[in-house]
Structures are given as structure tokens and as C-alpha cells.
Structure 1
Amino acid sequence: MTDDNFDLTPPELRRDDLLVVDDSRFTEENIALVTGAASGIGQATAVALAVNGLTVVGADIDETGLEETRDIADDLGADGTVEAVETDLTNDDDIGAVVETAAEYGTLRYVANIAGMQHIDSIAEFPMEKYDLLQDIMVRAPFLTAQKAIPHIEETDDGVGAIANMSSVHGHYATERKAAYITAKHAITGLTRAIAAEGGGTLRGFSVSVGYVLTPLMINQIEDTAEQRGISKREVIEDVMLGQARTKEMMTPAEVANLFTFGFSRHGKHLNGADMLWDGGYTHTYQ
């Protein structure tokens, strides 16, 4: 099998691909903080929430990518805006500062902890500095962001808001050579439930789990895997990545962003402490 005419280009964000919800809290006065907002799922989520009328504070270490996110929202005629805040999620002061900045723009109600990374190695060979970095970005930073954001949400006129965490099918089961990522995603389940337990029903916590998403990061992983295994990129996707799934198609960033939009909206008010698992049958079916 060859890769002739096989396109791995990340899809362009289009307004028609984004879920738009009629919600009285989706206004410019209300703020959504989105981490990892410079690319991929974080970028799509920041744009989607801005299209829905919210003021979005996008946090990422990639300043150029954040500017791109803001430009995309503008190009799509978003009713809300994207405010870019360069943020190092391994720095406690930066995390505190971006939460305070978000609160200064208006009423902070929503947080989407999306920033992530990947490193592939066996447990025996896994470099601990990579393990620590991954846990800092994907576990410690969401915890600290929640810690700093919760008082602001509780101080709103009705205490209504939500903190959403990016999880994965790897938060439900384990595969080889992704031990740090799997550990982090299982940890994020605990954080999500803890937020719900302390939220009093109005401040909700939920997570979003998906399978493989066509992002720039994923494209690099596909190309690396194809080279390592001596197979085509198409075979990597269809046989290696989606071999266990029933839906033989990768998700797009916009499709994942729509889950965050729905979860934050009034339609998600009973989504609390739970996980939105959209994985094409990956987790609960097998051959």
C-alpha cells in the first residue's frame, strides 16, 4: 500500500464546522481560559468558543501560534474575541498570572485544560526528565489552573461555570510505550472528579476523551511511525492507529472543540464528574 495522493494536511477551521449554541452565558462579558491555544485542539477550541460569543484568553508558550489563533477567529467573524497570553505552563507564576489576566477581562466562568505533549518510550527506557515535564504540563498545570480559577468562578453572581480537562482513550486503557501519557490521562480523571465533588453542582468538572485527531503533532507521529516500521502513512493510520476502532476516520480538531462547546453550554448542565468519550468504538469494542 502506498501513500500516493494521501493527504495528511490538517483541515482548515471553517465556521460551518463549528457548533454554535444559543446560551445566555455565551457573551463577551464571560471569559473562557483555554490552554494549548496556539495549535491543534486548543486552537480549534479557542476559536470555537470565540465564535460562540465568549471572550477567550488563549494561553500557550507559542506566541506566534496564539496570534494565528486570534487571526483565525477574526477571519471567521467570531462574535467574541481571542486574547493571547504567552504562558509557560511549567511556571507557577505564569499560571497564576494568566488566570488573573483572564479574570481582569471579565467574569471567568470556563477553563479548558487542553495543553499536552507526548513522548514514546518503554518504561525501562523512559527518560525521567521527559516524564516530569509531561506530568508538569498535563497534570500539575491543570490542577494549579483549577486551583487559581475556582475562586473566581465561585465569586460570580450564580457560581455557574465549568472546568474541562482534555483526556484520551489512553485515560481508559493502556498501550505500549506511552506510560507517562497514560499515567497523566488517568490522573486527569481523578482531578475532574475532584472538581465535580467540590463544585456544589454549579461549578462542574468534566473531561473529553477522543482517539486520534488530525493535528500537526499527530502528523509528525504518523510520519515517524511510518519510517520506524517501514510501512506507509496510510497503513499507520488504518492499521496501527485505527485498527481497533470501528469508525475508520481520524477526528478533526473542530469536532473535538465542539465537545468542549457543548459541555460548557446549558445543554451540558448534567455533565459533571464524567467523561465525554468519542472514540469511534475504540475503547468498548474489539475483534
Structure 2
Amino acid sequence: MSTDDFEIDEPELTTDDLLVLEDPRFTADTVAIVTGAASGIGEATALALAANGLTTVGLDIDEEGLDATADLADDLGVPGEFVPAPTDLTDDEAVERAVDEAAEHGDLRYVANIAGLQHIAAIENFPMERYDFMQSVMVRAPFLLAKHAIPHIEATDDGVGAIANMSSVHGHYATQDKAAYITAKHALHGMMRSIAAEGEGSLRGFSVSVGYVLTPLMVNQIEDTAAERGIDERRVVEDVMLGQARTKEMMTPAEVANLFVFGFSRHAKHLNGGDLLFDGGYTHTYE
């Protein structure tokens, strides 16, 4: 493949990709909310939880994307129900309504805050309206979802549940030209630990941190990063995205989704205030 015809695509998801665990709470009576469920990691996580038998409510502003996720759930034949819930995460009333409606489907126990977006620019050139929008979707909305979900989780028969945030290697360190994204990911770690501190052991908080994942968000930023750094797109992937990693391949959305499945399960009852760091060696190795 030459630089001129460089191309990278999101992999097709199959049921063989999804982790399925035995858990007494992984039933149709248990509800999980997943944001960003119209594509990428959010879509894969919604499908993975549905594959484990949960009723999964997918929040996203992209109605057509949610319909596509629902169609894929049907095609895969997952045992759990996927419920599309078109929601503008920057609308406080819409978020509160979405949580309350999700709880009508059963015992709301789990929330996966995955919705995210990216903008590539140096700090001095960063448009503040874009910064504000990113913080609203990636920090304020997860906080608001937790605020409204926690009373429902506490109202279950045993108060057991978990709220998980999609973080990143960029929640552990910083690279250039992604200041708003990095700020948001660091903030999510603080929120996750606060949930753990207030959850009294039965309500857990945790985060998931990974490197570059084959999602539409990642694919779209290759061209922007190439332009910002003055290099070709192949070098963005090989040098910027994979250069520091020891595992020289990107993760798939399903591989990330499986971390949320594990984190919500009975097998992760001691994961509380912690971060599942699956980064291929980005964070703790260097040359």
C-alpha cells in the first residue's frame, strides 16, 4: 500500500468478537445505558452488553446511527434488547428524561459514558466554542448522567451497579494538538474516583483507557493530524499513533467493549476507582 492510496477502515463486528460472561445480574431485567451508541466503541459496547443478555439503552444524537446499531443487534441475534434513545447530551432535560425512561425498562445498574469527539489544533489556535462543546459532551454530560442514574441504582434491591467512563492513554499523559480532549479525559478520572468514594462499595466507578482504536473518530483524525504536523497519513499511523506502542496494531471497538463487560461483571467487584489500562505499552514504556 503506497502513501498515495493509504486507507484504513473500521473492522466488521461479529458475535465471536464479544466477551460473554456468566453473571447473575446479566439478565433482561438489568438495564445498562451506553452513550455514543451510534458508532465505534459505543456501538460495540451496547452490542456486547446486549450479547450478555442485558437490556441496553443506547444514547446518541445520531438517530440513523442508532437505527443501524439496532439493525446490527438484530442481525447478530444478541439475546438482550437494544433500545435506541436519541438524546442530545448537551440538553440537561433530555439527559434526565433519557435516564428516567431507561429505568422504566428494568433495574438500571450500569452506565457506560463513551460518547466523545476530537479536534486537532494547537492551544493558541483552538476555537473556544469547540472546546466548550467537547467539555459539555465529554465531561458535563457524564457527570449529569451519573447524577440522575445513581438514585436509580441505589433503588435496586441491593444497590449494586457501576458507572464507567471511556478514558484514554490521553487521560494519563499529553501529546500535542489535543488539549481539549486531554483535559476532558483527565477530568473523567477525577469523576470516576469521586463516584467510587461516594458509592459505599456497592456502586463502583471505573474507567477504561486504551490507545488508538479503529473507529470513525480515529480514522477521521488521521488527515487532520497529518495536516497539523506537516506529515503524510501513513506516518501519522506508523509514527504518531503506533510509534510509542509495543503492540504494533490498533485495538478494535469490540476489544474495548469487552473491557466494559468485564468491568461491569461480578468478576470485577474490586475494580473501584481504578482504570483498566490496555494501551499496548504506550504509557509505561518509551525509547
TM-score when normalising by structure 2? 0.97
5 Å-filtered alignment, 1:219-258, equals: 219-226=219-226, 231-258=231-258
Unaligned runs of 5+ in 2: none
The letter for the 1-side match of 2:214 is L
* Between 274-283 and 217-226, the greater mean CA deviation after superposition: 217-226
Q: Is the 8 A contact 1:164 1:206 kept in 2?
A: yes
User: Sequence identity, in percent?
Assistant: 71
Deviations 1:127-176 (A, max 9, x none): 11111101100100000000000000001001100000000001001111
Corresponding residue of 2:185: 185
Residue 19 of structure 1 and its aligned partner are, at CA, apart by 0.4
Answer whether contact 1:212 1:241 (CA < 8 A) is retained.
yes
**Contact 1:2 1:232 (8 Å CA) reproduced:** no
On the 8 A contact 2:121/2:228 being kept in 1, the answer is no
Could you tell me which residue of structure 1 aligns to residue 168 of structure 2?
168
Deviation, 1:220, is 1.3
8 A Cα contact 1:50 1:78, kept in partner: yes
Compute the displacement of 1:233 (Å): 3.2
Give the equivalent residue in structure 1 for 2:13.
13
CA distance in 2, matches of 1:236, 1:75: 35
The alpha carbon displacement at 1:109 in A equals 0.3
- Residue 239 of structure 1, CA deviation: 1.0
CA distance in 2, matches of 1:60, 1:204: 24
**1:149 and 1:168 mapped to 2: Cα distance?**
23
Structure 2 matches for 1:117-196, cutoff 5 A?
117-196=117-196
Question: Which residue is equivalent to 1:263?
Answer: 263
Partner amino acid for 2:49?
L
Return the offset for 1:73.
1.1
Alignment partner, residue 56 of structure 2: 56
The 10-residue stretch of structure 1 (96-105 or 236-245) with the greater mean CA deviation from structure 2: 236-245
CA contact (8 A) 1:171 1:185 kept: yes
Name the counterpart of 1:104: 104
Q: 1:220-257: CA deviations, max 9, x gaps?
A: 11133345556543322111111111111010000000
Task: For residue 104 of structure 2, give the secondary structure of its aligned residue in structure 1.
Answer: helix
1:12-47 C-alpha deviation (Å, 9 max, x unpaired): 111001100011110011000000000000000000
* 8 A Cα contact 2:120 2:221, kept in partner: no
Bigger Cα displacement from structure 2, 123-132 vs 200-209: 123-132
Which residue of the partner structure matches residue 276 of structure 1? Answer: 276
Deviation at 1:72, TM superposition (A): 0.9
Q: 1:265 to 1:103 in 2, by over 3 A?
A: same
Return the letter of the residue paired with 1:258: N
Distance, in Å, in 2 between the alignment partners of 1:126 and 1:9 is 28
> What is the TM-score with the length of structure 1 in the denominator?
0.97
User: What residue in structure 1 maps to residue 24 of structure 2?
Assistant: 24
Structure 1, unaligned runs of 5 or more: none
| Contact 1:23 1:265 (8 Å CA) reproduced | yes
- The question of whether the paired residues in 1 share the 8 Å contact of 2:118 and 2:221 is answered with no
Whole-angstrom distance in 2 between the partners of 1:230 and 1:185: 26
The number of residue pairs the alignment matches comes to 287
Q: Please give the per-residue CA displacement for 1:156-198, whole angstroms capped at 9, x wherever unaligned.
A: 0011000000000010011111111111111100000000000
Q: Which residue of 2 aligns with 1:198?
A: 198
Alpha carbon RMSD of aligned pairs, Å? Answer: 1.4
